[in-house]
A = this chain, B = another copy of it.
Amino acid sequence: MQSIRSSSRLQRDLERLGVTWHARGHVTCSGPSLALARRLDRLFVAWATAWQSVEYSFPPFLSAKDLGKTDYFNSFQHLASFPVSLDPDEASLQTFAQNNAHTERELELGPLRSVEEVLTPAACYHVYAHLQQQSLDEPRYVTTKALCFRRETEYAPLERQWSFNMREIVCVGGAEAVKEFLSTSQARLGRFFETAGLPVTFEHATDPFFQGPRHPKFFAQKLDPVKFEMVLGGRLAIGSLNFHRNYFGEAFQIAHLGEPAFSGCVAFGVERWIYAIVEQYGADPAAWPEIFSIAEGAK
C-alpha cells in the first residue's frame, strides 16, 4: 500500500465522502460516495458490454432448493442469512407484539412460517438457477448486480459487511469459451489497474465453492486452483475471477452442446472498490485518477 492511513483518518475521509457506518455491518452512502459507487458500476457494466452481456435484475432471495444444489449449506451455512416471517396465527402475532413493542435491541420472534429462501450470498448463483435445465448452443454472457449477504463475526466499513453490492459478469458455455472469457478479462483488468495506478495483483486463492477441509472436494481444488483474487496492496480482495469447470452446469443441469456446461465469473465488490480508491488516493475526488472522477453536480 503506497499510503497507509490510520483508521481514524480513514473514518474522517469516509464521512467526508458521505459514508455513514452502521455498527452491525452496513453502510449508508450519499454525495460523493454514492456517485462513486455509480461511476464504478458504469465501469463494470462497460466491461460486461464488451462481451455483449445481457443484464438481469434478480430477486434478493434464492430458493433454498436452488442454493442447496451448490453444496452451499454444507460449506457456508455459517455465512448464510435467511428471511423469516412470523407464524400468521393471531395469538402468536399478539404475543410477538406484546414482547417486542419497545425492543431495545433483540427481538423475540416466536413461531415462524416455513423457511424456504436464503438472502443472496453471491450474485452469480441467480444466473445458474435462471438457466437451469436449459440447453445452450453457444456461450451465454450475463451481467447482474446484487445485494449480497454474508454473516460474519466482525465487520469493518466498506471492507467487510453483512450486506454489500456485487457486480458480476458470467460466462456459461463450453470450456474453451469460458477460459477465453477469464483470460481476456484478466488481461483487460491488469491493463486497467496499471493505467489507474492501483496496486492490485492477481493471486491464486482457495475456491470458495469448495472451501474448508469439511468438504472432500477441498483437496482436489487445492491441486487445481480455479480462483484468482484481485488483491489490493497485498491485503484486500476487491474482486475475483473464478473458473467453476462444469460444477454449476452439473448442479443445475445446464447443457452446452449436449455436455454439462462450463462456467466462469468475474466478480467486483463495489464497496471494496470504493475503499480502495479512498485508501489509495484520498477523500478528494479531484485527486482521483480520471477514470474514477465523478461529476460534482449531484448534491
Contacts and interface: CB of A to CB of B under 8 A. Distances in A.
Given A26-B60, A68-B102, A73 B55 contact: no
Nearest to A35: B55
The prevalent SS among residues of A at the interface is mixed
A103 B102 CA distance: 36
Interface in A1-53: 20, 22, 24, 26-31, 34, 37, 52-53
Copies of this chain in its oligomeric complex = 2
B86 A80 contact: yes
A117 to B, nearest CB: 7
Contacts of A119: 83
Contacts of A115: 106-107, 109
Contacts of A84: 81-82, 84, 109
A180 interface: no
Nearest to A94: B214
A248 interface: no
Contact of A163 (B55, B60, B118, B214): B60
A109 B115 CA distance: 8
A103 B24 contact: no
Contacts of A27: 59
Interface string A165-207: 0000000000000000000000000000000000000000000
A56 B30 contact: yes
Contacts of A59: 22, 26-28, 163
B116 A96 contact: no
Interface string A82-103: 1111101000010011001111
B30 A57 contact: yes
A63 interface: yes
Report, nearest first, the 3 A-B pairs whose CB atoms are least far apart: A26-B59, A85-B151, A30-B56
Q: Which of A82, A116, A130, A163 has the most CB of B within 10 A?
A: A82
A298 interface: yes
Interface string A200-243: 00000000000000100000000000000000000000000000
